[in-house]
Amino acid sequence: AKIKKLKETNLELLSQVSTFEKLKAENAALSDQFQTAYPPTNKLLKAGIIGAPGFVPGVSIPNNFILSKGAKDNVKVGQAVVVRDNLVGVIVQASANLSKVNTINNSSFSFTAKTENGALGVVKGGGSLMIDNIQLWENIKKGELVLTKGDINQDGIGIVPDLVVGKITSVEKNPSSLFQKAKIESYIDFVSLSTVFVYIQNK
């Protein structure tokens, strides 16, 4: 009976530790976000990541996330999802209580972006994150930041300007090509991400 009681107590303590660690991680995410001036925190909705369909640890990186917030929380298709001032992805589906995000790594997700020096291009996910369709005469270089250009529709929904996509790690420029392109590395650790923020522009 004593051993059984000890086992039950041990399981209860382990559960409490797990809950504490989860709360600590959520508080850290909130603290980081509130210390970021942009985007404004009064337009952000905190959401937990409760699923990552198709993700295989050690083999791939998450292309989709399932979030713990949905339409009843004012989540809508097309809204941007961020961590601090970094773009995570965009809402592609929303039910009453849940929503689905295509991350910037998703091959079906593309958007207009700009480099620090103002060169315009299109960011595309897939095997590796790229910015393509940059004019050959533009001067882009390794280490340069890539930011969102902004893509808000008439309803106030979309990707706001100047969110960080990542930094350029290599440039591919061929004089015989119409455009140049570059590889991008995001600052986000998508594998260990547990909390994100949905940009509710029209809240």
**Looking at the predicted structure, is the pLDDT value of residue 203 above 60?**
no
pLDDT at 41: 76
Triad 39, 49, 143: Cα angle to 5°: 50
pLDDT band at 171 (very low <50, low <70, confident <90, very high): very high
58-93, pLDDT tens digit by residue? 888 999 999 999 999 999 999 999 998 999 999 999
**Looking at the predicted structure, is the pLDDT value of residue 202 above 70?**
no
**DSSP per-residue letters across 75-139:** --TT-EEEETTEEEEEEEEE-SS-EEEEETT-TT-EEEEEETT--EEEEE-SSS-EEEEEETTS-
pLDDT band at 127 (very low <50, low <70, confident <90, very high): confident
pLDDT at 107: 92
Of 3 and 69, which is predicted with more confidence?
A: 69
Q: Which amino acid is at 97?
A: N
**Looking at the predicted structure, is the pLDDT value of residue 192 above 50?**
yes
CA torsion 52-115-140-167 (nearest 10°) is: -40
% pLDDT > 90, the chain = 64
Contact assessment for residue 196 and residue 101, using Cβ atoms and an 8 Å cutoff: yes
User: CA-CA distance, 169 to 192, in Å (whole number)?
Assistant: 22
22-70, pLDDT tens digit by residue? 667 666 666 666 667 677 778 899 999 999 998 988 888 999 999 999 9
What SS3 state is found at 159? Answer: strand
pLDDT band at 184 (very low <50, low <70, confident <90, very high): very high
pLDDT at 11: 85
